[in-house]
Amino acid sequence: MVFGVWLKADGLETPDGAECYKAVSEGPRLHRSGDSLCVGVTPGLLPAPATKGQWPHRLAGGGALQAGRRPPAPVLAEEMEPRGWLPLLLRLGLICLLGAPSEPRLRVFVVPHSHMDVGWLHTVQESMQAYVTNVYNTVVEELTLEKKRRFIAVEQEYFRLWWDGVASDKQKGQVRQLVSEGRLEFVLGGQVMHDEAVTHFDDQILQLTEGHGFLYETFGIRPQFSWQVDPFGASATTPTLFALAGFNAHVISRINYNLKEAMQDNQQLQFVWRGSRSLSAQQEIFTHVLDKFGYCSEGFYWDGEPIFPHPPENGWYPSMQFPVTWERLQSFVEAVLYNVWVRAAWFQTPHVLWPWGCDRQFFNASLQFANMDRVLEQVNKFAYQHGVSMEYATLGGYFRAVHAHQLSWPVRDQRDFLPYSSDMHHAWTGFYASRSGLKALARRASALLYAGESMFTRHVLLAPHPHLDPAWGLQQLQQLRWAVSEVQHHDAITGTHALEVGDMFVEHLSSGMQGVHTLMASIIQDRSPAQSGPEPGGRFAVVYNPLAWTVTTIITLTVDFPNVSITDESGRPVPAQVQRSKEVPSAYDLHVLTTIPGLSYRHYSIHPSRRPQEDTLEPVTSLASSRQFGHRPRRRGGPVGGSLVPVENDCYTVFLDKDTNLMHSIWERWSNQTVQVTQSFMEYHAKSDFDQGPISDNYVFRPSGRAKPAWEAVRMEIVAGPLVTEIRQEFYREVDDREPTFAIYSRLAHRPQSSDGELLCHRIEQEYRVGPLELNREAILRTSTDLNTGRVLYSDNNGYQMQRRPYRNYTNNIIAQNYYPMVQSAFIQDRRSRLVLLSEQAHGVSSQGNGQVEVMLHRRLWNNDKWAVENDLTLNDSSVVHPVLWLLLGPWTLTSGLRQRSGLALQHRPVVMLREMNETARRGSGFKLQEAVTLPSSIHLQILSIPGWKYSSNHTEHLQTLQKDRNRAAKADVRRVLLRLQHLYEVEQDPVLSQPVTVNLQSVLQGLGSVVSVEERSLTGTWDVRKMHRWTWSTRDPPRHRGKSSSPSPPLGGPNITIYPKEIRTFFIHFQEW
C-alpha cells in the first residue's frame, strides 16, 4: 500500500489525495503536475510515534518505549496517519519544486552503540555468556573489515572482563589499531554508567577513576565525552565532575517529559552547563540532551533479542528485523529520512546525532552493519536531492562538527534535572528508597574502602613490613574498588533490578569487604600492644580515624558482661558507659569516649572486672540507669505537652511528652530558641493493580492517597549515663502486638569539658528500626515542626552541593512529583532556625506540609504486571532495615558551618577492629606512635590511596612503553600516592570557612614520609592538568570567575597549593624510597 499526498510550492496540501494515490501507486514515487508535487511513501519501516505505555519502566532509550520489553517492530505505514509524515513530505516536496541544494543541508552522524546494563534483569556473568562477549567479538571483526564503520564502547566492567578473559592476542591487536585510528571510541569510560540521583560523588569519582585508569594504562587514551543516557534524572554535580575529568561534552537523556518537550520546541536541547555556583567557568561543560527518541533507533535492529543463558546454536534470535532487500530498501530510507528531519528541527546546527542501537544490541554486528550499510549507501546516493548525508561516526566526530560551527550557546546554572517523570502519571521517585538494605550496604562498603585505602597507604609508606605483601594488599583493595564501582550502576544502587541480580551485588560487596577486613586485621597485627600472657575474655580494640581532622566521638562495642574495665595504650582508664543492648537483651552496649587525631589510631584494652572494693583502684565503667514509660495509644486529638520529660546535653534539651511518648520540642542553647518537633512513622498505601492504571514499583512512586499513621501504640524508655542518654521509642502496628514494627533510638552525647566535642554535642543521633512492612506499603518518618518553611526543602546533589526544592502544585501525582533524592543531607528552615537531617545512605525526601520534612525509609511492593513478575522485577522486600539520621538544629549561622563536617563524621566514623587477648601477637609488635595528618577544617581528604597503576606519569614515556609492549612486565608503583582534596564550602556560605585555604602538602604529609615531588592531575588521574586543554564553547552569558581563574593551574613551584570554595584538586604525590 502507498499513501499519496499532493504538495504545492507554498507547502500547502491540496485536496485530491485519491488522484495522487493513483499516480504514485502506478508510477514513480515523486509525480509532478504543474506547480504541485505528488509524494508517495511505501509502508513498512516508519518509526512509531512515541507511545507512553501504562507501565513506563525502563522506557527504551530514555524515550517513551519500554526498554526491557523490546521496542516493537516498526509500525506499518497504514497504521499511521499520513499527516504524521508531513514534516518529511513538505521538505522532500519543496526540494523537488524549488531545486536540489548545492550540497546536503543535514549531516547525520550515525553512532553505533550497545547499551549493556551491568546487572538489571540478568547477572554480569549471564550477560557475558548470552550477548556481551559476542558484542565485542563481532564488533571488532566488522570494524576491522570495513574502515568506514564506527562504534562507541561505554561500560568498562564488561570490556575489561572481555579483554582479560576472552580476547585473543589477535583481537587485542585489532582493538589497539581501531582505538588508535579513532574508529572504536571509549566514551564515559567508567566501570559503569552510574546513577545520578542516589549515588555519592565520592563513589562516582571512584568508578570513573577505575575505568579511566584501565583505559589509560592499556591504550594511553583518556575519554573526552560522556554518555549518561539511561540514569533516571540528571544531577548538577555530574557536569562539574566530568569537566574536572577532562571531558569536552556531556550527553544526558532522561529529564522531565514536559521540560524535554519545551526544550525541543525552543531548540534548547544543547547548552553550556555550569553545575556549581562557586566554581569558575573552567568547570562548565557543553551538554546535549537526547531528543524524545532517546538512545534507541526503533526499526533498525537486525540481530533481534539475545537469548539467556546462552546464544542459540542455530543463530536464530527472536524479533529479528526483516533484512534490507532491494524491495524493502526504499522503505528503510524513507523511515530514516523522516526521523532525521523530525530531529533536525529541534537543534540549532545542521548536524543530527542519530544513536544507532539500544539495550543488548550488536551481538551480531555483521548482520547489523551489512543492513545499515545498504541504507546509508542509498541515502548518500541521493544526498543532493533530499539534502541529507549520513555517515558512521563516534560521539567525538559529532561534537567536533558541532564545536566547529561556532555558535553562541545558552548557559544553564547549577539547577539539576531531578526528579524525573516520564509522563504526568509516572514520577520516578520510588527508586530513591527501593532496596534500602542494599543502599546501606553500598555506603558502608564505600566507607570501609575509604578507611582501608589510607590505612594501607600509611602502612606501606612508612617502612617495609615483612608480614604484609603490598601486592596482596592491593588485590584486596582492588576487589572492593570493583564491587563499590559496580553497585553505582543505574540499575544497582537504585534497587531497580531482579532479585537474583541483587544477590550478585550483595555477594560482590560482602566478599570485597571481607578482603579489606582481612587486610586491616593484618595491618593492626603490627600495632596491637604486646601482652605477657593470655587473658580469657579480654579484647584489644584498635580504633582508626580515617578523616584528616581530630575527631572526638563515642564508639560503641558489644560485650557479654556488664562490669567492664577499659584502659588506653598507656594504661590509663578511659571514660566509658555500659548498658543493656537495645537489640539483644543478653548483651551489653559499651560506649567509649575517644579523641583520635587525623589518620591515626587509638588502642584500648577491654576486660571483664569485678566490682571494685572501696580501696581498689581498678577502673570500672559506669552503668547506665533506665526509666520505663510503658505503652501509650496513638491519640487522635486533644491537648499535648501537659507533662514533659527533658533529656539534655550541653547543646540541646529534648522534651518528650509522657502522655504520648513522642518528642514534643527541642531547645537549642546557642540561640536560646525552642522549636516544636514531633516525629511519627507513617505509610503510603501503594497502587498495585496494573490493570487499573499507574502503580508503584521499583522505579515509580504512585501512592493511592496521603500518608497514614502506621502505628497504634508506642512504648518509651530513657537510658541515661554520664556519656550518653538514649531515648528508645518503639512503635507497634496494633495495640496488642508483641513486637514493634518501627523504632527510634535517639542519642545525645554529654561532652566532657576537657575534650573538643563541638560536632559531638551539636547533633541528635537517631537510628531507626523499620519492618517488616505489610505488602504495598511505603514507610516514611515524618518530622513536623513549627518552623514557617513555606514547604521549601533543601536537599543535596550526591553529597556535593545543595538544591532548593520549592513545593510545586502539579495537577497530577502531586505527592510523588515533590519527592527528591537525599544522598547525604537535607534541611528545612525559617528566619529563626534550621533543622538539618544528615543521612548515612540515600533516601527519598519531601516537604508535604509547612514545617514538615519526611524521609522515605523502606518500601515493600507487589503488583500484577505480568512482565515484571516474569522477570522477577518486583519489590517484595520483607527485610528489617536500620537507617541512621543525625539531626542538627540551630540558626543557619551555626548549622551552615557544622553541616558538612558533621556529614563526613557520619559517613566516615572511626573503624573499630577487635582482637581477642588470648591471640598471640606477632613478634616485635607493639604500639607505635605515628604522626597525625591534619588538614584545615574546611578541607576534606577525599582520597589517600596507592592506586597500583603501572603507567608512567609522563604521557610521552607511557605511549612509548605501550608501543614497545613493555607495560605487561611493569610493576605497580607503590610510592606513587593518589591524593584528592576538596573544599567543603560554597562561596559566601560562611564568613570564615568559605575563604580560600593554602596548604603545604609537604608539611601536611610528613607523617607519611618524605615527599619527593607533587604533580597536579585531572580528577581521575590520567591527565597532567598543565597539558589538559578542554574545548572552549562560546556562551551568551559572560563567564563568572569565582575562585580560581579560568586558566589552567600553573606548574607547581613548590608544595604550597591554594584551594578555593568547592574545588576538588587531585595530585600524584611521590614519596621517597625507604
- Report the C-alpha gap between 921 and 426 in whole angstroms: 59
- Report the C-alpha gap between 606 and 619 in whole angstroms: 11
φ, ψ for residue 17, nearest 5 deg: -70, -30
φ, ψ for residue 451, nearest 5 deg: -70, -40
Instruction: Count helices and strands (H / E) in the chain.
Output: 22, 50
How many other β-carbons are positioned within 10 Å of the β-carbon of residue 903? 22
Strand partners, 484: none
C-alpha cell read off for 689: 493493580
Query: Nearest CA to 292 among 493, 50, 130?
Result: 50
Q: Considering all CA atoms of the chain, what is the largest pairwise distance in Å, rounded to the nearest integer? A: 119
- Report the C-alpha gap between 735 and 498 in whole angstroms: 36
Quote the strand ranges of 833-922, DSSP E.
834-839, 843-846, 852-860, 884-890, 911-916
Sign of CA dihedral 54, 58, 60, 62: positive
Strand partners, 59: 66
C-alpha cell read off for 470: 603490598
Q: How many CA atoms lie within 13 A of 183 on its CB side?
A: 19
Contact predicate 281/1039, CB 8 Å: yes
Crossing angle (nearest 10°) for helices 470-486 and 201-219: 120
- Report the C-alpha gap between 629 and 729 in whole angstroms: 10
C-alpha cell read off for 80: 499511521
Strand partners, 626: 719
For residue 487, the 8-state DSSP code is T
- Report the C-alpha gap between 764 and 655 in whole angstroms: 13
Active-site residue, from 195, 203, 230, 526? 230
Q: Name 846's Cβ contacts closer than 8 Å, sequence gap at least 6.
A: 793, 815, 818, 819, 820, 853, 854, 856
C-alpha cell read off for 772: 517488616
Ordered alpha helix ranges (H), 220-321: 237-244, 257-265
How many other β-carbons are positioned within 10 Å of the β-carbon of residue 849? 14
- Report the C-alpha gap between 183 and 177 in whole angstroms: 9
How many other β-carbons are positioned within 10 Å of the β-carbon of residue 814? 13
Task: Give CA separation, 354 vs 344, 761, 845, in Å.
Answer: 10, 57, 37
C-alpha cell read off for 377: 549507501
φ, ψ for residue 493, nearest 5 deg: -60, -20
Q: Name 180's Cβ contacts closer than 8 Å, sequence gap at least 6.
A: none
- Report the C-alpha gap between 1052 and 542 in whole angstroms: 38
Strand partners, 826: 795, 837
Strand 564-568: give its sheet, edge to edge: 564-568, 601-608, 539-544, 911-916
User: Which class for 150: exposed (0-12), middle (13-18), buried (19 or more C-beta within 10 A)?
Assistant: buried
Query: Nearest CA to 360 among 540, 154, 518?
Result: 154
Query: Nearest CA to 538 among 915, 912, 920, 927?
Result: 915
Contact predicate 701/427, CB 8 Å: yes
Written as one string, the DSSP assignment of 533-602 is S--TT-EEEEEE--SSS-EEEEEEEEES-S-EEEEETTS-B--EEEEE-SS-TTSEEEEEEEEE-TT-EE
Q: Is 230 a catalytic residue?
A: yes
Active site residues: 230
